[in-house]
Structure 1
Amino acid sequence: MKRSVLILVLGGLLFSTNACTDLEENVLDETFSSNLTDEQTAKGLLVPVYANLPELFRHTTYFSLQEISTDEAILPYRGGTDWGDNGIYIAMHSHNYTGTDPNIGNTWNYLVQSISRSLTALVTLPGLPDPNTNLYIAEARGMRAFYSMMTLDLFGLVFKKENPATTSEILRGQQAIDYIESELLAVEPVLQNRATVGSGRLTKAAVWGLLARLYLNAAVYRNVYAQQFSFEAADMDKVINYTDKIISSGEYQLASDYFSIFGVDNHENKELIFAIDQRPELNGHNRLSYFSLAGDQFPLAQFPGANGTDGPAITSDFYRTWVDAYGNVDPAAADPRFYQQNMSVYSNPADTCINDADYRINRGILRGQQYGAIRVNGVFLRCADGKLKVGRLTNLTRNRPDLPVNFTEQIDFTTAGSGYSAGYRVHKYEFSKVSDSGRNKGQADISILRLADIYLMRAEAKLRKSNDAAGALADVNAVRASRTATKPAPALTAMNLDLLLRERGFELYWEMVRRTDMIRFGKYEGTWTEKTSTDVNKRIFPIPQTAIDGAANLPGYLVQNQGY
């Protein structure tokens, strides 16, 4: 099933509270043709269930909430001219976000629209005679549970609704956990494996992984404001059970090349368990790749209009966790997850002429002076033999050829820390090779669940259940040892919860799990660059004010989260 096969013209769900609470969506026209087969009609109902995923996992929606709110990412007002956006990124990082934040509002809207589309599929599919109907119903129901799990994690509530004509019931705490659990357990027997349905769809193993994630975070979801979370042994047993099922299935394997997991040809990568299909013909986006790069980094020889945007960087605090872990050894040499050099000019300054087909910028965490294709007056400089000329980059696009693109460790909200080269950058997802603007035509599938996370969840459950440090250490070292395309990171000799959180940061940085991790590990009220707030109310986000206002006709129905 390809999302490009869209045979329903779905009316846009109005981003008002009536839409958010009633979870309804108008179907303006059922088909482009009156001669649809049963199979086409059934697929056309399932396609919209998945269709919002690329938008939901954009740089200014879920990424902003999950990363810029943490010690991993920071986005200052660049040069006093870029990414000001009325201070929303500064507020996000310093935990001063409010119910009028557009990134919070857009994330909410995409989630409730996706829940609405799932419900539309669930009430319409049962009447169709297509042989895949039961599978599609299970997928729609499972995806509704996935979106509900996201609303629980981000906003502390879940909408429950089976009849489009009724108002949704709002669930919180244990009731919300029970609902999501029951929905995932109900669809698990019907769902198929990835080899059967392909990448980008909900599978049996994906549900196992989501259940493991639900149980791992259940202590938080029961009482998000607790001074200390109580991780129940029964929950940890379930985490271990479901992660065991995935690992022992043999369907997935840890990638030897870490950065291949996030490459443009990762569609069939066996480490990915559940991912967002980003093939260019599906109109995916390249935002996770372009977001952190400099405006004078041009990754594609054939597209001189495709560049970065000088967005977020990692904080010095996060960078120092790498330095502290490896001491006198540069983390780029110690750990293949930190950095991948793709241009020899970095080690041999004489190598300044590259075949177009061989030109690739570096990946991972980028530090110091950057090199690459040099664009002058809209075209790239060329060597005498016609090859692409690469060299030391400066801020030519900003009319500052005197200012090098030299990424520094310091980044903060001061004038010095908000410059265009402030902060070490992240180029984890490979830049799409067909993106003519740098923003569009994404190629790299976006990871939601992958096998390394499964190992690390199992390790955490072992620690939380019985302080099984040896078992946890074995799982962590299995992930480390797997990255054999280059020299793997050295095996660790000890394991505890603090070390495990550090390891999750090394393995999963920029993958939109950091906020959830920090809350679960009791670190979200900590202090890091430009963030000193200790307000536990900020563990979940405010319900958008537009949603609150729109529900005013139902007094007491949609109540703002405490502290906002």
Structure 2
Amino acid sequence: MKKTKIFSLVFVFFLSFLYQGCTDLDEEVFDKLPVDEFGNTEMQINSLIAPIYRTLKGVFPSNYFLLSECSADMAITPTRKGGDWWDGGQFKELRLHTWTPNTSLVRDSYNSAMESISSCNKIYSMIEENESIADKEQILAEIRGVRAFWYYLLLDYYGNVPVVTDFNDTSNPATESRSNVYQFVLSELNAIKDIVRDDVTAASYGKITKGVVNTLLAKMYLNAEVWYPEGGPKWQECIAACDEVMGMDYVLEPNFKASFVVQNQNSKEIIFPIVFSTADGGNHIHKRTLHYLDPIPLNLNVGTWNGVSAMPQYVKDYDDDDKRIDWSFLTGPMHDTDGSVLVTAHGRELIHTIDIEIKYNLDEDGWGQVEQEEGARCSKWDFESGLNGDMENDMAIFRLADVYLMKAEALVRLNEDNAEATRLINLLRARAFDGADKLYSSVTLDDVYKERRFELAWEISARQDMIRFGTFLDEIPGWKDVTPEKCLIFPIPQTALDANPELVQNPGY
């Protein structure tokens, strides 16, 4: 065997071992198998490509989740009394829109995407060169789909980035304009949309499918005026992509929580999940959001970090009768096993208030520390009683409710078929409210915007939506002033610029 091919298999074995877990991808680690005999079975193929899907765990509930929700008006990771979550000031910078090329999350999120793209390119190259693998077109299309998703994130968050598809090209890649990156992602998605599998089954769950690709296309068209303004609006194309997805076997679950329960892989509403399990570094949103004592009433045997909470006004904007408040946010008193309200280390009752008040150690920017118990916590993904580690609940990057919302928005923006837009919005509201009095007779663009916020809280949607609706730079009273236009994209990390002289910093940074 050639050394390069030996390395290829070792690379995949390492990644498969590193990320091994219950993912419904039927992966199995192989060793001591000649490369020309590997890739002849579906199990072996799944073992080869499983690592590219595991890269998605860099999206939630860390890097891009925090960049999106904490830079928008959805969430905040406040510095707690005693100094917890100061983290070098990065969460202050996200809240105030004062991030720099050296902000940790800006750097880590960029690196996560670039490393994931490199993994995709490596496995693509290995499979493409392996003559023992027959009918590889669909397999390669899957890899291109995951890579296109990572470039979709870079396009959204960083705008102007290098595009690399050849793993064997070791030259320094140059920065491509946001318009060029947009056109690249669009061309990749259109190239694979009729090649990838089109089933909506347990076998296709967690993989790149026609439904995933068309949902990504809908996102691309929905944001075209922001990401590719010279190409003009693409609302009709967005509608067409949404119709493709809505014509498949996905189902808007009658029970909203079906997409967030522990075993949510059975939800027919989920289009593209990050597949988690307790065995392989799974979903740790419970650790990131819950107070140190919250595991007592929730019967969790885990250490929690008392971090991210909802921005107060975001929660207050819900209708009081909207059941999605309780389905998404943990508020109120937390009780000990004897029924008494728990008391924090600072001698305060553990009552999760919606309001958050900065009142200790204020600096010249108005940032300081808040009480440990303040803030509505994320409870959208059910906490499994008795849990000893990470959660198994998968995170739906895309689900059918979002497709309904995208189509409704495009219809309203086109001033076409308001009845259909209203019907789609009302399908979501019907499961969130008791009684028909909360349904709309017609919808405005503002109605659609608000419904996206109520439906998609915590789901990495807030920043993108605010930018598209023109609210991202606005003042958040009591939290931040109007911010400059440069903040519509993040800077290229300084470490990346130092490593590659061909890169160009984004304007204003």
Is 1:237 paired with 2:236? Answer: yes
Deviations 1:183-220 (A, max 9, x none): 01111111112316332111110100000000101111
Q: 1:495 Cα shift?
A: 1.8
Code of the aligned partner of 2:225: A
Match of 2:359 in 1: 414
Match of 1:182 in 2: 187
- Structure 1, gaps ≥5 residues long: 12-29, 224-229, 341-363, 375-380, 382-388
Match of 1:423 in 2: 375
The answer to whether the Cα contact below 8 Å between 2:127 and 2:133 also exists between their aligned partners in 1 is no
Q: Give the one of 294, 297, 300 matched to 2:294.
A: 297
The answer to whether the Cα contact below 8 Å between 2:300 and 2:384 also exists between their aligned partners in 1 is no
- The number of aligned residues is 473
Q: 1:78 Cα shift?
A: 0.3
Q: Percent identity?
A: 28
**Where does 1:325-474 land on structure 2 (aligned, <5 Å)?**
326=319, 331=320, 334-340=321-327, 364-371=328-335, 374=336, 381=337, 389-395=338-344, 398=345, 400=346, 402-415=347-360, 418-433=370-385, 435-437=387-389, 440=390, 442-466=391-415, 468-474=417-423
Q: Give the one of 483, 490, 495 matched to 1:534.
A: 483
Q: Give the one of 111, 116, 122 matched to 1:109.
A: 111
* Whole-angstrom CA distance in 1 between matches of 2:113 and 2:450: 30
* Whole-angstrom CA distance in 2 between matches of 1:161 and 1:534: 32
* Whole-angstrom CA distance in 2 between matches of 1:517 and 1:477: 20
The answer to whether the Cα contact below 8 Å between 1:336 and 1:489 also exists between their aligned partners in 2 is no
Deviations 1:406-453 (A, max 9, x none): 12232143339711122222211122456424xx3x201011100000
* Whole-angstrom CA distance in 2 between matches of 1:407 and 1:547: 40
What is the root-mean-square deviation of aligned Cα atoms in Å? 2.7
The answer to whether the Cα contact below 8 Å between 1:72 and 1:315 also exists between their aligned partners in 2 is yes
Q: 1:165 Cα shift?
A: 3.6
The answer to whether the Cα contact below 8 Å between 1:63 and 1:512 also exists between their aligned partners in 2 is yes
Q: Residues 489 and 120 (structure 1 numbering): CA distance in 2 closer, same or farther, change over 3 Å?
A: farther
* Whole-angstrom CA distance in 2 between matches of 1:408 and 1:263: 25
Match of 2:259 in 1: 261
Q: Give the one of 55, 58, 78 matched to 2:80.
A: 78
**Where does 1:48-197 land on structure 2 (aligned, <5 Å)?**
48-59=51-62, 61-126=63-128, 127-131=130-134, 133-166=136-169, 167=171, 168=173, 170-192=175-197, 193-195=199-201, 197=203
Greater strand proportion: 1
Q: 1:163 Cα shift?
A: 3.0
Q: 1:44 Cα shift?
A: 3.7
The answer to whether the Cα contact below 8 Å between 1:462 and 1:472 also exists between their aligned partners in 2 is yes
| TM-score normalised by length of structure 1 | 0.78
Q: Give the one of 197, 207, 213 matched to 1:207.
A: 213
SS at 1:310's partner residue? Answer: coil
Q: Residues 188 and 240 (structure 1 numbering): CA distance in 2 closer, same or farther, change over 3 Å?
A: same
* Whole-angstrom CA distance in 2 between matches of 1:203 and 1:292: 32
Code of the aligned partner of 1:264: V
- Structure 2, gaps ≥5 residues long: 1-9, 17-28, 361-367
Q: 1:540 Cα shift?
A: 0.7
The answer to whether the Cα contact below 8 Å between 1:370 and 1:406 also exists between their aligned partners in 2 is yes
The answer to whether the Cα contact below 8 Å between 1:256 and 1:483 also exists between their aligned partners in 2 is no
Code of the aligned partner of 1:295: Y
Code of the aligned partner of 2:212: A
SS at 1:66's partner residue? Answer: helix
Q: 1:158 Cα shift?
A: 4.2
* Whole-angstrom CA distance in 2 between matches of 1:501 and 1:259: 22
Q: Residues 162 and 307 (structure 1 numbering): CA distance in 2 closer, same or farther, change over 3 Å?
A: closer
* 536-545 vs 411-420, which moves further: 411-420
* Whole-angstrom CA distance in 2 between matches of 1:418 and 1:509: 23
Is 1:274 paired with 2:265? Answer: no
| TM-score normalised by length of structure 2 | 0.86
Q: Residues 248 and 531 (structure 1 numbering): CA distance in 2 closer, same or farther, change over 3 Å?
A: same
* 284-293 vs 69-78, which moves further: 284-293
The answer to whether the Cα contact below 8 Å between 1:336 and 1:487 also exists between their aligned partners in 2 is no
Q: Residues 66 and 299 (structure 1 numbering): CA distance in 2 closer, same or farther, change over 3 Å?
A: farther
Q: Residues 164 and 238 (structure 1 numbering): CA distance in 2 closer, same or farther, change over 3 Å?
A: same
The answer to whether the Cα contact below 8 Å between 1:232 and 1:465 also exists between their aligned partners in 2 is no
* Whole-angstrom CA distance in 1 between matches of 2:73 and 2:299: 36
Match of 2:316 in 1: 320
Code of the aligned partner of 1:32: D
Deviations 1:294-340 (A, max 9, x none): 21111687654x25322122222212311xxx3xxxx2xx1121114
SS at 2:317's partner residue? Answer: helix
Q: Residues 391 and 37 (structure 1 numbering): CA distance in 2 closer, same or farther, change over 3 Å?
A: farther
Q: 1:521 Cα shift?
A: 0.3
Code of the aligned partner of 1:214: M
* Whole-angstrom CA distance in 2 between matches of 1:536 and 1:46: 39
* Whole-angstrom CA distance in 2 between matches of 1:405 and 1:209: 41
Match of 1:480 in 2: 429
* Whole-angstrom CA distance in 2 between matches of 1:428 and 1:303: 16
Q: 1:520 Cα shift?
A: 0.4
* Whole-angstrom CA distance in 1 between matches of 2:471 and 2:208: 31
SS at 1:394's partner residue? Answer: coil
SS at 1:339's partner residue? Answer: helix
Match of 2:7 in 1: none
SS at 2:378's partner residue? Answer: strand
Q: Give the one of 507, 514, 517 matched to 2:462.
A: 514
Match of 1:219 in 2: 225
The answer to whether the Cα contact below 8 Å between 1:121 and 1:137 also exists between their aligned partners in 2 is no
Q: Residues 368 and 419 (structure 1 numbering): CA distance in 2 closer, same or farther, change over 3 Å?
A: same
* Whole-angstrom CA distance in 2 between matches of 1:259 and 1:287: 18
The answer to whether the Cα contact below 8 Å between 1:289 and 1:430 also exists between their aligned partners in 2 is no
SS at 2:80's partner residue? Answer: coil
* Whole-angstrom CA distance in 2 between matches of 1:196 and 1:106: 33
